[in-house]
Structure formats: structure tokens, C-alpha cells
Amino acid sequence: MTTPRPGSRAEQRQRTEARILDAASRVFVADGYERATIRAVAAAAEVDAGLVMHYFGSKQELYRRVIDAAPVPEVSGTPAEAAEQILTALADRLASPNVASLALLRSMLTNPEAATAASAGIARYEAQIAQAIPAADADLRAALISAITLGITVSRHLIKSGELATADPARVIGLLRPCVLSLAARPGD
């Protein structure tokens, strides 16, 4: 992507779009997908609601762009290295949840439009995982790993499920490690 000339219309457009996305992220975190409105995003970004619609077209597209802008943990290297990267990221989420991520996750679980908008971000993460898995069914294995880590995060922080809600993150990761390593490994290893 070419960097626009400072002060140009293209640069102003990028700054406005970034300001709207930042405001949208704050509004979605504070209000959830269902209660968030284009008007609230516009007010937070200090722009007209029509400008938000001009740039993004719909609340669902705006939410999708917020999800797309969220950082995705890097997964690369050998299957064992990738598994450890996944487990390290999960351990971090178990130890100290990101309030913004949990709010967006809650929206995905309670609203079909938000779930549809988030599916592209989840697919990007699963594609990274799949690249590290030397198996014909790498996409399925990556989806299973993603579902396991997502399920653990939801169970611990949103549902506050029994033992998992208070378990030591290191203990959870220790129990989970053989499963993730097995899914990431070449079949037969």
C-alpha cells in the first residue's frame, strides 16, 4: 500500500477512517454489538453518521473491520513451535483477559451478525495455524485447535465454568499441551 502524501485528501481519508475505527472499537466494547449504533460511533469519532456509512456501509461491515484490525497472534515455524506459540497466547489470555477482546467475543456469541462479521478474523488465525501443520487435513486440525482455545477462553472468562474459572493457567496449559501438539504434528509422529 502506498503512503499518501502528507496533507493530501488520501491522507485525510485514512486518518478519518482510522479515527472512526478506533471510535467503533470503543463503542462495540462498551455497548456490545447489539446496542452499538452508527450514531454513537459517529459521535465518538466526532464525525457525521453519514460519513461512517459512507466509509463502511453498515454496522456489520464496521464491526468486521474492527475485528480485522485486531491483532492476531503470530503462528509460524515447526509444528511444535507453532503449538507452543498458540499455548503461550492462550496462557496469556487465561492469566489476564483483555477486556476489549472479551467484549467483542461476547458479541460474537450473542449476535449472528457479529458472528458472521468475526468469521473472517477467525479464518485468518486458522489459516496461519494450518500452514504450520504438515498434514492433509491441516485445515480441520487448525479449526479444532482454534475451537479448543476459543472454548477455553469463553469457559474461563465469560461462563466462569467450575474448575476452569480459577485453575492455574500453567496447569491448564500443561494438560492441554499434548492435545495441541498432537493436532499440530505430522500424522504418525
pLDDT of residue 3 exceeding 90, the answer is: no
User: pLDDT for 148-179, tens place per residue?
Assistant: 999 999 999 989 999 999 999 999 999 999 99
pLDDT at position 1 is 53
Domains annotated for the chain, with CATH where assigned, are 9-69 (1.10.10.60), 79-184 (no CATH)
DSSP 157: I
Please state the separation of Cα 103 from the chain's center in Å: 11
Q: Please state, in angstroms and rounded to a whole number, the distance separating the CA atoms of residues 170 and 92.
A: 10
Name the DSSP class of 3.
P
Q: How far apart are CA 23 and CA 27, in angstroms?
A: 6
- Average pLDDT value for residue range 75-90: 94
* Mean pLDDT, residues 36-54 taken together: 96
Identify whether the C-beta of residue 129 lies closer than 8 Å to the C-beta of residue 89: no
| pTM of model > 0.75 | yes
Least confident among 38-42, 53-57, 104-108: 104-108
Cβ-based neighbour number of residue 42 at 10 Å: 20
Q: Out of 4-8, 133-137, 166-170, 176-180, which region has the weakest mean confidence (pLDDT)?
A: 4-8
3-state secondary structure (DSSP) of residue 148: helix
* Better-predicted residue by pLDDT, 91 or 118: 91
Closest by Cα among 92, 185, 81 to 133: 185
